[in-house]
Chain A
Amino acid sequence: MNMIQALNDAHKVVMRADEDVVVFGEDVGYFGGVFRVTEGLQKEFGKTRTFDAPISEGGIVATAVGMAAYGIKPLIEIQFADYIYPGYDQIVSEVAKMRYRTGGEWTMPMVIRTPYGGGIFGGQTHSQSPESLFTHIAGLKVVVPSTPYDAKGLLIAAVEDPDPVIFFEPKRIYNGPFDGHHDRPVTPWSKHPASDVPEGHYTVPLGKAVIVREGADLTVLAYGTMVHVALAAVIEQGLDAEVIDLRTLVPLDIETIEASVQKTGRCLVAMEAPRTSGFASELVTLVQERCFYHLEAPVERVTGWDTPYPHAYEWAYFPGPKRMKTALEKVMAD
């Protein structure tokens, strides 16, 4: 399965198991979503459990809040992460804070799925990586899968989680892993072991990172598309690097990070999002706070630039192999 199929399968698993799960968003009903993640759901589960929404992200999130208050479980799609901002007030001020401000009486067990990231020539309004904005908000969990296997297991876990989850889908790797070399053909998921997705119900727990490649000389922390870019880069550089896929940004698996950096003594953080005040900065700080006396070099970060995503300069913007190489060389020096 590719990631789209895995996500579609996850929807079917949760919707068959729990008739309170309701899916809605722009174009998700009859058509099955612009990326086809919700394909076939309306046919199987009916129009009142999978339906198209008006182009009103604020309205989509707000009505999901009301539904969650009623006692059903919204699993909603924001068509592109770039469109999440009209819903931001509802997410930040309502979804995130409801459990807290009502002393636990009203909870918001919902999942907000949204495709993020660049590499599809989407220009500045179809390429953003706004996950850092949500990691800053107490009350939200933030998940970013990087494989079909994880995408299904994490999405099922997210739906079953008692807290609201923002689920960022790396759309660049919906159809196949991407090593950052945009001028090479994309390898389809079918050639990757993580595309072997079990049938039926299984979960990948939230808050648990995975070591996707063991190594002794350097730790690379990444999530989403950048996991694959990082893997390709360390292999190309011939480094004995440990690559960790964070999978969940909040709550973060600090134990795995700490153990790895204390073992390797060097660390590089990679993300697609712009640099300033991004989640990479948080990771660098955590590593500095907890592993300083084990470090043999300053912690490096590879990120997108602090500009809006430029359409024609997409590949100069994207943190690809060259930027990875420079940073890896720097962190491995001395």
Chain B
Amino acid sequence: MSDKDPALRRNAPKLALHVPEPKFRPGDTPDFSGIVIAAAGEAPRPDTSAPAAETHPLATSLVRVLGDDHRAVGPWDPKLDADTLRKILSDMVTVRTFDDRMYRSQRQGKTSFYMKCTGEEAIATATAAAMSRDDMHFPTYRQQGLLVSRGYPLVDMMNQIYSNKGDRLKGRQLPIMYSDKAHGFFSISGNLGTQFPQAVGWAMGAAIKGDSRIAMGWIGDGATAEGDFHSAMTFAAVYNVPVILAVVNNQWAISSFSGIAGAERATFAQRAVGYGIASLRVDGNDALAVYGAVQWAAERARSNNGPALIEFFTYRAEGHSTSDDPSGYRPGDEAKAWPLGDPIERLKAHLFALGEWDEDRHAALAAEADTAVRAAQKEAEKIGILPQQGKDDIGSMFDDVYAEVPWHIAEQRDAALEESR
């Protein structure tokens, strides 16, 4: 009870705490008709050197290129050639195939954990296509498409997932927490949000040294509530940093919907307004819109016109991870009701409409991705799966804590080796 004397506040209304709830829970029929979705081509495209304020109306609308007729329309159409479109489609199909195989691997007990990005494939793959190969990404755990698009060997991704002897991270990281400098993919952290201001720091470094490369930081809608989100925005604005800050709003942080991160009050893109940062809200299931927006923000950053925040509006079609069962907190068919569709189907339909793709070629692409993923899996599993690991070379566990092994760690290494004998 309050320590205030109720007699003193007799007529005051009783205060109430608002705890946001998603519109639908298991058993409900999902209905997204309340979501306002701007028509494709409707959002204006400011010049990349425009003042940030000119972009701020875009924080509440939605940049879309692909219309219901699967045609590209409007000022954000990047007018890509068919080869580029097919490459993005191919990367998306590879990512989905890879995800399915690795999900199954986890279910078969070959590894401990996996996270799919089903429904969000366009975001990383179209971004990779729009950025330069040597730009740096500070990703979260659902941007495996960046690695796939940049040609990182699938077998290396799997070796990491299996923590086997081919794992470049030496069995020290949770599956899917990839890291590869040469592919511009910064080490993933399980502490959410940490990478966001790190991306800003990398881009500050590039600016200090007069480099021409830029960085892109990634965060989920839930993690925008972390302090790191706000320090990233502050530093990016203060120093006019050449960085792209992406919020992947897939609307679910494990079982908590985006309202718990503040989405009931404002869009995530709107958070840029208070910082004076350029802001775009983008249909994340529209590969062309993703490409157009990233290309715009990259050009802006590269020409010292400052940072941009992009909210990719999408939907997490599957569970948070292999440890999650979404049927416990949302309707089972909610993903199917999501009005912005499936990114692969949409780009595929667009290529069909252009006459640059057909069912046979798509079937061939799917088969090719399946073959490549299976071959990589075979190769990786030949090296080893997780349950077989952790027995050999135990001494290596003590390497890389410091550049050189100090005495106390050396003593513990000896003890661990003795214990394992």
> Residues of A with Cβ closer than 8 Å to B?
22, 48-49, 53-54, 56, 58-59, 62-72, 86, 89-90, 93-94, 98-107, 138-139, 141, 161-163, 207, 250-252, 254
State whether A252 and B408 are in contact (beta carbons under 8 Å apart), knowing that A54-B235, A106-B181 are contacts in the complex.
yes
Tell me if A58 and B227 are in contact (CB < 8 A).
Answer: yes
CB of A103 within 8 A of CB of B400, answer yes
Q: A94-B189, A100-B172, A107-B403 are known contacts. Are A63 and B201 too (CB-CB below 8 A)?
A: yes
Nearest residue (CB) in A for B208 is: A48
Q: What are 8 inter-chain pairs, A to B, with CB distance below 8 A?
A: A48-B208, A49-B208, A62-B198, A63-B235, A69-B186, A69-B198, A93-B189, A100-B400
Q: What are the residues of chain B within 8 A of A100 when measuring CB–CB? A: 172, 400-401
CB neighbours (8 Å) of A86 from chain B are 227
Question: Contact: B232 with A94, CB < 8 Å?
Answer: no
Q: How far is the CA of A69 from the CA of B409 in the complex (A)?
A: 25
- Cβ of B232: which chain A residues have Cβ within 8 Å of it? 59, 62
* Binary flags per residue of B134-176, CB closer than 8 Å to A gives 1, else 0: 0010100000000000000000000000000000111011000
Q: How far is the CA of A242 from the CA of B232 in the complex (A)?
A: 49
Which residues of chain B come closer than 8 Å to A107, judged between CB atoms?
Answer: 403
**Closest partner residue, chain B, to A52 (CB atom):** B238
Task: From the candidates A66, A99, A162, A250, name the one contacting B202 in the complex (CB within 8 A).
Answer: A66
From the candidates B187, B208, B403, B406, name the one contacting A72 in the complex (CB within 8 A).
B208
Cα(A69)–Cα(B181), bound, Å:
9
Residues of A within 8 A of B203 (CB): 66
Hey, which chain B residues are within 8 Å of A22, CB to CB? Answer: 205, 208
What 7 pairs between A and B have smallest CB-CB spacing?
A66-B201, A59-B231, A63-B201, A70-B205, A62-B197, A66-B202, A251-B406
Q: Which residues of B contact A71 (CB under 8 A)?
A: 205
Pick the residue among B179, B235, B238, B402 that contacts A105 (CB under 8 A): B179
A102 with B169: CB separation less than 8 A:
yes
Q: Known interface pairs A63-B235, A163-B403, A251-B408. Does A106 touch B186 (Cβ–Cβ under 8 Å)? A: yes
B349 within 8 A of A: no
Question: A101-B187, A105-B179 are known contacts. Are A64 and B234 too (CB-CB below 8 A)?
Answer: no
A54 to B231, CA, bound (A): 9
Min CB gap A288→B, angstroms: 15
Partner of B191, one of A56, A93, A104, A162: A93
Residues A89 and B400 in contact in the complex (CB < 8 Å), given A48-B208, A102-B169: no
Q: B204 near A: Cβ within 8 Å?
A: yes
Whether, in the assembled complex, B317 has its beta carbon less than 8 Å from a beta carbon of chain A, the answer is no
Q: Which residues of B contact A252 (CB under 8 A)?
A: 408
Interface status of B200 (Cβ within 8 A of chain A) = yes
Within the complex, what minimum Cβ distance (angstroms) separates B276 from chain A?
Answer: 14
Q: Give per-residue flags for B179-199: 1 if the beta carbon is below 8 A from chain A beta carbons, else 0.
A: 111000011010100101111
CB distance from B400 to the nearest CB of A (A): 5
The residue on A at minimum CB distance from B171 is: A103
Q: Which residues of chain B are within 8 angstroms of A67 by Cβ–Cβ distance?
A: 201-202, 204-205, 208
Selected from A63, A72, A101, A139, the residue in CB contact (under 8 A) with B197 is A63
14 additional contacts, CB 8 Å, given A66-B204, A90-B197? A58-B231, A59-B228, A62-B196, A63-B204, A66-B200, A67-B205, A69-B136, A69-B198, A86-B227, A90-B194, A99-B401, A103-B170, A104-B399, A104-B400
In angstroms, Cα B189 to Cα A257, docked, is: 38
Determine whether the beta carbon of B205 is less than 8 Å from that of A56.
Answer: no
Cα separation A100 to B177 with both chains bound (whole Å)? 13
Residues 226-256 of B, flagged 1 when their CB comes within 8 A of A and 0 if not, give 0110111011001000000000000000000
In the bound assembly, the distance between CA atoms of A22 and B186 in angstroms comes to: 21
How many whole Å from A5's CB to the nearest CB in chain B?
27
| Distance in angstroms between the alpha carbons of A254 and B407 in the assembled complex | 9
Beyond A94-B189, A106-B181, whether A58 also contacts B200 by CB under 8 A is no
Which A residues touch B198, using CB under 8 A?
62-63, 65-66, 69, 94
Question: How far apart sit A105 and B201, CA to CA, in the bound complex (Å)?
Answer: 18
Question: A285 to B102, alpha carbons, bound, how many Å?
Answer: 47
Q: Which residues of the other chain, A, contact B200 by a CB distance below 8 angstroms?
A: 59, 62-63, 66
Contact partner, A66, options B181, B205, B402, Cβ 8 Å: B205
Among B189, B197, B408, B409, max chain A CB count under 10 A is at B197
Which residue on chain A has the smallest CB distance to residue B396? A103
Docked pose: A139 CA to B172 CA in angstroms: 14
Q: Which residue of B lies closest to A99 (CB)?
A: B400
Query: A93 CA to B196 CA in the complex, in Å?
Result: 14
A242 → chain B closest CB, angstroms: 21
**Does the CB pair A106–B187 fall under 8 Å?**
yes
Contacts of B181 in A (CB 8 A): 105-106
Collect the chain A residues with CB atoms within 8 Å of residue B293's CB: none
Residue B215 lies at the interface, judged by CB distance under 8 Å to chain A: yes
Enumerate chain A residues within 8 angstroms of B230, measured Cβ to Cβ.
56
Q: Which residues of B contact A69 (CB under 8 A)?
A: 136, 186, 198, 201-202, 205
Minimal beta-carbon separation of B71 from chain A (angstroms): 40
Return chain A residues, CB-CB under 8 Å to B186. Answer: 69, 106
Cβ of B396 to closest chain A Cβ, rounded Å: 9
Q: For the complex, what is the distance from the CA of A105 to the CA of B408, rounded to whole Å? A: 23
CB distance from A290 to the nearest CB of B (A): 11
Determine if A103 and B201 form an interchain contact, defined as CB atoms under 8 angstroms apart: no
A203 to B80, CA, bound (A): 57
B197 engages A59 (CB within 8 Å): yes
Report the bound CA distance from A214 to B253 in whole Å.
60
- A254 CA to B403 CA, complexed, in Å: 19
B405 to chain A, nearest CB (A): 10
Interface status of B421 (Cβ within 8 A of chain A) = no
Alpha-carbon distance between A104 and B138 when the two chains are bound, in angstroms: 18
Q: Which residues of B contact A251 (CB under 8 A)?
A: 402, 406-408
CB-based nearest B residue for A65: B198
A102 and B187 form a contact (CB under 8 A): yes
- What's the Cα separation between A104 and B169 when bound, in Å? 8
- In the assembled complex, which residues on chain A have CB atoms less than 8 Å from the CB atom of B263? none
Given contact pairs A66-B200, A72-B208, A59 touches B187 in the complex (Cβ within 8 A):
no
- CB contacts (< 8 Å) of B180 on chain A: these are 105
Chain A residue nearest to B407 in the complex (CB): A254
- With a 10 A CB-CB cut-off, give which of A62, A86, A107 has the most chain B CB atoms: A62
Partner of A56 from the list B138, B172, B206, B235 (CB cut-off 8 Å) is: B235
B209 at the interface (CB under 8 A from A): yes
CA distance A328 to B238 in the complex (A): 54
Cα distance, A153 to B112, chains bound together (Å): 47
Bound complex: CA of A227 vs CA of B411, how far in Å? 29
CB pair B231–A62 under 8 Å, yes or no, is yes
